[in-house]
Amino acid sequence: MSRKYNIITYGCQMNEHDSENIAGLLESMGYEHCDDPYKADVTVINTCSVRENADKRFFGTLGQFKKIRKNDPNFVLAVCGCMPQQPRVVEEINKRFSWVDIVFGTQNISEFPDLLEERLRTGRRMRSIIDNNPDINEDDMKPVRMHRHKALVNITYGCNNFCTYCIVPYTRGREKSRPLSVICNEIKSLVPDGVIEVMLLGQNVDSYRDMAGNSFADLIRAVNDIDGIERIRFMTSHPKDISDDMIECFNTCPKLCHNIHLPVQSGSDRILKRMNRHYDRSQYLAIVDKLRSVCPDITISTDIIVGFPGENDEDFEETLDIAKKVRYDSAFTFIYSPREGTPAAKFEDQIPDSVCHERFDRLVDVMNSISYEKNQEYKGKIYEVIPEGISEKDAHTISGRTDGFKLVNFTSDKSPEKLMGRKVKVMITESKTFSLEGVEVSD
Ligand code: SAH
Ligand code: SF4
Ligand code: F3S
């Protein structure tokens, strides 16, 4: 009987893609995927440490494996991702969670098969974490991709920005750009497998620059020239580095989706400065204007943190104000969470929980009502949607995304299998806050 694996993934799309690579490594060792992490022979927990509740969930999950590991000494539990990049976490695992067999970092995923074999051969606990791997690459990986028709593709690793609240530069190391030719060859190799959409990933895609001097705009143009690719997306953009040349790509590259995730974090200049974001609200608003003048139907989403140390009522009002000015299509809103080792965790003027929650609720109300209003404009119109799967709630409903990344749940006379992997036309019949509903009208 073949051996089974399962991977539990927390965090961002970069972690999701790392899990695809880890699945590829395990399958090349002969393991088969199984749905139940408690019934596998090897379970990998790919962790996130961006906010404190991610920490808590992770330690809770580890606790649940104690019994499994005790009853079956051959079961292997591995932990990777951003949590073990913090020395205190590895110490805590060693002290309190002795049943964790393997721990490896974000920058040595390729070592995992050796660590696993060594663990199986010797029974020893394996730990391997590199802080800042200059040779990080995934060029020889054969990921098992989660989606058939769209692929996550890393363009940069790490981050150099050191926003004062953020742990990512400490967990992912310094920024490195993959060569344009390597990225394009990877994408070309995906087309015969049915991939028509790519999501280019980096913590700050706008600072992409490879050894040959290619910029992010050069990369978009090169991907736009790849036959078989129909949609190009990217994330995350940083307002301090976004260039006019990149913005112009919305005009010149027909495959580039009319959608951008442009985190603002705060609407207050004082707070933006303390966050080390290197732009102010007027510069941010000027970028939004430029995007909308080049690409009038562009959809814009954002990330906002409330309760950053020192945020007063006026600062928060400025955040509400910028949200109303931009009128975001959607937003991820977070309560500031102090991360050990980051400068902001040591700022003295931390904001009480009750104030954070009150501001958070007010912000969410504003963002949701804007999303709802914007979605009303879609009603009665026809959009191209790429179906991604069957709705979780209803087997007769297919879900997919518009070019602008709006989630659409729709019905069709045709079988879902027939529609997957190609653009279909959908008439929008109902608009909700977070999704649209419709019927397929392709001829
Ligand atoms: N590189 C991306 C995303 C980083 S993490 C960027 O620059 O936008 C995703 C989001 O998590 C961030 O945009 C930020 O809004 C949020 N975040 C990061 N650290 C946080 C913290 N300590 N507390 C609350 N939210 C945080
Ligand atoms: Fe974190 Fe800032 Fe880097 Fe984004 S740009 S990963 S928020 S430090
Ligand atoms: Fe989390 Fe690491 Fe991504 S901290 S958000 S998994 S880069």
Q: What is the DSSP string of 236-257?
A: ---TTT--HHHHHHHHH-TTB-
Q: Reduced to 3 DSSP states, what percent helix, strand and coil does the chain have, rounded to the nearest 5? A: 40, 20, 40
Q: How high is the pLDDT of residue 105?
A: 95
Phi and psi based region of residue 307 (left: phi greater than 0; alpha: psi -120 to 50; beta: remaining): left
- Residue 106 CA to ligand 3 center (angstroms) comes to 10
Of all protein residues, whose CA lies closest to atom 1 belonging to ligand 2?
166
139 located within any domain: no
For residue 173, give the CATH number of its domain.
3.30.750.210
Is the same domain home to 217 and 280? no
Domain end call among 98, 128, 158: 128
Of all protein residues, whose CA lies closest to atom 2 belonging to ligand 2?
163
133 located within any domain: no
Is the same domain home to 153 and 241? yes
Residues near 442 by beta carbon (within 8 Å), at least 6 away in sequence: 424, 425
141 located within any domain: no
Give per-residue burial for 424-433: e unless 16+ CB within 10 Å, then b.
bebebeebee
Residues near 42 by beta carbon (within 8 Å), at least 6 away in sequence: 3, 4, 5, 6, 26, 31, 75, 76, 78, 116
For residue 409, give the CATH number of its domain.
2.40.50
Pocket of ligand 1 contains residue 203 by CB under 6 Å: yes
Is the same domain home to 280 and 370? yes
List, run by run, the mean pLDDT of 10-residue segments along the chain (443 residues). 93 96 98 97 96 87 92 94 94 94 95 96 92 85 94 97 97 96 97 97 98 98 98 98 98 98 98 98 98 98 98 98 98 97 97 98 98 98 95 85 97 89 95 97 83
- Residue 414 CA to ligand 2 center (angstroms) comes to 44
Residue with tokens 């400068």: 343
Domain of 92 in residue numbering reads as 4-128
What is the distance between the alpha carbons of residues 315 and 353, in angstroms, rounded to a whole number? 17
Is the same domain home to 40 and 81? yes
Would you call 75 helix, strand, or coil by DSSP?
coil
Q: What are the strands of the beta sheet with 259-261, ordered from one edge?
A: 259-261, 299-306, 330-335
Pocket of ligand 3 contains residue 14 by CB under 6 Å: yes
pTM recorded for the entire structure = 0.96
406 located within any domain: yes
Number of neighbours of residue 99 by Cβ within 10 angstroms: 17
Domain end call among 257, 289, 316: 257
Would you call 58 helix, strand, or coil by DSSP?
helix
Pocket of ligand 1 contains residue 199 by CB under 6 Å: no
Is the same domain home to 302 and 364? yes
For residue 362, give the CATH number of its domain.
3.30.750.200
Pocket of ligand 2 contains residue 159 by CB under 6 Å: yes
For residue 97, give the CATH number of its domain.
3.40.50.12160
Phi and psi based region of residue 421 (left: phi greater than 0; alpha: psi -120 to 50; beta: remaining): left
209 located within any domain: yes
Q: How high is the pLDDT of residue 6?
A: 98
DSSP code at position 426? E
Please give the helix or strand (H or E) that residue 9 lies within, else none.
strand 4-9
Give the atom of ligand 1 at the shortest distance from the alpha carbon of 165: 22
Q: How high is the pLDDT of residue 240?
A: 98
Is the same domain home to 187 and 89? no
Number of structural domains (the chain) is 4
Residues near 101 by beta carbon (within 8 Å), at least 6 away in sequence: 69, 76, 77, 78, 119, 125, 126
Q: How high is the pLDDT of residue 56?
A: 83
Domain end call among 95, 128, 161: 128
Number of helices (H), then strands (E), in the chain: 14, 19
Q: What are the strands of the beta sheet with 76-81, ordered from one edge?
A: 32-33, 4-9, 42-47, 76-81, 102-104, 126-128
308 located within any domain: yes
Please give the helix or strand (H or E) that residue 233 lies within, else none.
strand 231-235
134 located within any domain: no
What is the distance between the alpha carbons of residues 240 and 163, in angstroms, rounded to a whole number? 12
- Residue 240 CA to ligand 1 center (angstroms) comes to 15
Amino acid at 223: V
Is the same domain home to 94 and 115? yes
Is the same domain home to 10 and 120? yes
216 located within any domain: yes
Is the same domain home to 348 and 275? yes
Please name which ligand lies nearest the alpha carbon of 49.
3
Q: Which of 326, 235, 321, 310 is nearest to 275 (CA)?
A: 310
Is the same domain home to 189 and 282? no
Is the same domain home to 222 and 267? no
- Among 303, 335, 347, the mutation site with the greatest number of ligand 1 atoms within 8 A of its Cβ is 303
Q: Which residues are registered as beta bridge partners of 197?
A: 150, 231
Is the same domain home to 418 and 397? yes
